[in-house]
């Protein structure tokens, strides 16, 4: 599983981190630290990754199943 974090859509609400801090850390400005990147979701973190993506009000995180 992968998560694509759209750097243009992320507005720093931090809800992804609130739901899944181990998957979606924030940078010093409160934005997703991986915005603009595609990250590999580690085994066991799939549910958290989905919850964090669903919590984003801007829908800046897209989950891609392998």
Mean pLDDT throughout 6-18? 97
Q: How far apart are CA 38 and CA 36, in angstroms?
A: 7
CATH code at position 23: 3.30.70.20
**Is 90 exceeded by the pLDDT of residue 66?**
no
Q: What is the pLDDT of residues 13-57, one digit of tens each?
A: 999 999 999 999 999 999 999 999 999 999 999 999 999 999 999
Q: How far apart are CA 3 and CA 24, in angstroms?
A: 10
pLDDT at residue 24, rounded to an integer: 98
Number of domains in the chain: 1
Range of the domain at 12: 2-64
């Amino acid at each position: 599983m992968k998560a694509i974090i759209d750097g243009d859509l992320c507005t720093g609400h931090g809800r992804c981190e609130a739901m899944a801090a181990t998957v979606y850390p924030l940078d010093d400005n409160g934005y997703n630290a991986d915005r603009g990147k595609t990250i590999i979701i580690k085994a066991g973190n799939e549910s958290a990754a989905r919850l964090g993506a669903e919590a984003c009000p801007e829908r800046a995180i897209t989950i891609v199943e392998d």
